[in-house]
Amino acid sequence: MFLNPVLAMHIPDGFLSVAVALVGWALMVVLVGLALRETRDKLGERQIPLMGILAAFIFAAQMINFPVAGGTSGHLLGGALAAILLGPWSAVLVMLSVISVQALLFQDGGLLALGFNTINMGVITVFVGYAIYNWVQALPGRAHGNRLLAAAIGAWVGVEVAAIATSLELVASGTSPLQIALPAMVGVHALIGVGEALITVGAIAFIQQTRPDLLGETAKKAARGSSWIAVGLLIALLVVFLSPLASPSPDGLERVAADQGFLDAAQDAPYQLLPDYTVPVIKNEALTTIAAGVVGVLVVAGIGYGVGRLNSHGKAGKRGHTV
Amino acid sequence: MTLSLSLQERYQAGDSPLHHLDPRVKVVMTLLLILGVVLTPEGAWPAYPLLWAVIGGLAAVGGLGAVRVARAGSVALPFALAAVTLLFTVPGQPIASIFGLPITDAGLTRFLSIMIRSWLAVQAALVLAMSTHFTDLLWALGSLRVPGTLVAIITFMYRYLFTLKDEAARLLRARAARSGILPGYRSGGPLFWRARVAGGMIGNLFLRSYERSERVYAAMLARGYSGQMRMLTPPQLTWGAIWWGAVPVAALLLVEMLAFLVWT
């Protein structure tokens, strides 16, 4: 069941503390507001039918699976694919619609948890995937302009960063201990990400052969992609660097280790990804939440600043070149 | 197959007071119930059955069957895997052990509390989804200040969800029809190839969806679409509906007060 990405990342209600859930909602409201404005400017009256039908497409695409082994199957989450096909802001709206319908209509993922579910699956996979996709294509050497390789790496990294973010949210809520949640989520999603990458490449390759004009449209938009690279990488870095900040519980796991002596035994097993894990920087749960909130605001401010600069550039005049 | 893939709509048509309740009131009531359930302190054991009585009572009034809702509420249970390690990591008195790992009383309390609260929250969301048609639900969200464009996009998505699900099902059926197995031969290609095939199917589905959206947009333009979705005049929000919705919320408040003051 955990091998199924569709469920593995949909946090149900009750697993996030109310404070953490509200931070997620605040972030989501700001980002979705930005996404609505951006896409309205770009698409005009086409916005509603195009976004609506493509949201239904992502929903249906998540049904298409391929058998892996032992009864498990690979699925698509779709964030990176949507970003590559539609551009990041449209992709955020499409993913938000998908995740909302899954929560409202099918109870896949909670309503209070909708904020962070959207951030994880609809913002992080989109922005990180898109940034990496553009970055890899801009690299010199053999990777230069290799759209499929770039899509594969973008999809994989996007899923991985989203998994890290999901585990951090659970840890900050006191629902999962860091030493276990983080390596488990990262490990499982390293495999899930491979499925995501392969499917994304398959889809892009098919579209490249049949309707290359559709990819050309977004490629032109990617001319302004250099700032996206910065934004996406910033998100990824923030998520990663947040890991030591998120205190698993105010009680402190070090004491458990001392009291029970079991962590010594347990550390032989899968937890060696964090061998030097020490006492969390912030011991107080409330403080952790505040720290998360502050960082969240900084993320939003950074994104807002980036968007503002992009707009002024776009209006200022011509773009240098098209990819 | 996950839950969402069966695409079994939860809505059950009915004639109960819950079905007739203004969807705006129902949405606010459900969000408050979920918020209250999640806020309940851990280990406040008497609060949980009472909260269930509130939610189950609503289900019963709606003719949905409290037991059936409770059973359907177990959809979030697989996620327990994310919290199960709390049993061992929360400091406290060891009360039992599995594979040599001691389970602490505090760990058990936190784990059970999370599971019960999650189960109750899912049930509250289920009662809303089972007693409210999705278009009414979306309309209610729109009048509760969710941006109109977003509501229109999701309404559109809902309209085409089943159409595109059928497209996906046709693609899957076509693949299954071409995937014959000969006895004694290994079936299917390597994993890499299988994933690329699935990717190709999704690319195909994207083109069908994109071209459909162009046709739909052209058809809408031909019928006078100008960027605005037109709606009938909404019904008035009555005090009766608000009082109706206030009853479960008041019960919730009472339980929460007891839980915070007495049972912790």
Pairing of strands A66-67, A73-74: antiparallel
Per CB-CB distance under 8 Å, the chain B contacts of A48 are: 149, 152-153, 156, 227, 229
Q: pLDDT-based confidence at B53, cuts 50/70/90?
A: very high
Report CA dihedral (A87, A93, A95, A100) to the nearest 10 degrees. Answer: 180
Q: What ipTM does the predicted assembly reach?
A: 0.90
Which among A55, A104, A119 is positioned nearest to B149, based on CA atoms?
A: A55
pLDDT given for residue B196 in this prediction? 86
The mean per-residue pLDDT over the stretch B32-39 comes to 95
- With 60 as the cut, is the pLDDT of residue B55 above it? yes
Q: pLDDT-based confidence at B264, cuts 50/70/90?
A: confident
- With 70 as the cut, is the pLDDT of residue B3 above it? no
pLDDT given for residue A221 in this prediction? 52
Smallest CA–CA distance from A12 into chain B, residue: B76
B78: which DSSP letter? Answer: G
Per CB-CB distance under 8 Å, the chain A contacts of B207 are: 207, 210-211, 214
- With 70 as the cut, is the pLDDT of residue B21 above it? yes
Find the helix or strand (DSSP H, E) in which A67 lies.
strand A66-67
Please tell me the total number of residues recorded for chain A in this structure: 323
The C-alpha atoms of residue A175 and residue A18 are separated, in whole angstroms, by: 12
The C-alpha atoms of residue B80 and residue A250 are separated, in whole angstroms, by: 21
**Which ranges of chain A have pLDDT less than 50?**
1-6, 222-223, 247-294, 296-297, 300-301, 304-305, 307-323
Token reading at A92: 């955020």
pLDDT given for residue A217 in this prediction? 56
- With 90 as the cut, is the pLDDT of residue B82 above it? no
The C-alpha atoms of residue A213 and residue A211 are separated, in whole angstroms, by: 5
CB contact under 8 A, A111 and B217: no
Q: Which residues are paired to B97 by β-bridges?
A: B102
The A residues from 46 to 85 touching B (CB cutoff 8 Å) are 46-57, 59-69, 74, 76, 81, 85
The C-alpha atoms of residue A56 and residue B158 are separated, in whole angstroms, by: 7
Determine what percent of chain B is predicted with pLDDT higher than 90: 55
Residue B228 in contact with residue A49, Cβ under 8 Å?
A: no
Taking only the tens place, the pLDDT of each residue in B172-207 is 888 888 877 778 776 667 888 888 889 999 999 999
pLDDT given for residue B10 in this prediction? 85
The mean per-residue pLDDT over the stretch B214-224 comes to 91
Per CB-CB distance under 8 Å, the chain B contacts of A168 are: none
More reliable by pLDDT, B232 or A303: B232
Helix (H, G, I), strand (E, B) or coil at B139: helix
CB contact under 8 A, A66 and B197: yes
Ramachandran area for residue B133 (φ above 0: left; ψ -120 to 50: alpha; else beta) = beta
In angstroms, the separation between the Cα of residue B238 and the nearest Cα of chain A is 25
- Count CB-CB contacts under 10 A for residue B235: 11
Token reading at A192: 């899930």
pLDDT given for residue A46 in this prediction? 84
- Count CB-CB contacts under 10 A for residue A269: 9
pLDDT given for residue B181 in this prediction? 74
DSSP secondary structure letters along B24-43: HHHHHHHHHHHHHHHHSPTT
The CATH class, in words, for A5-246+293-316 is: mainly alpha
CB contact under 8 A, A175 and B82: yes
Most confident of A259-263, B76-80, B102-106: B102-106
More reliable by pLDDT, A267 or B98: B98
pLDDT given for residue B150 in this prediction? 92
pLDDT given for residue A277 in this prediction? 32
pLDDT given for residue A260 in this prediction? 41
- Count CB-CB contacts under 10 A for residue B84: 15
- The full set of domain ranges for chain A reads 5-246+293-316
Helix (H, G, I), strand (E, B) or coil at A3: coil
In angstroms, the separation between the Cα of residue B235 and the nearest Cα of chain A is 22
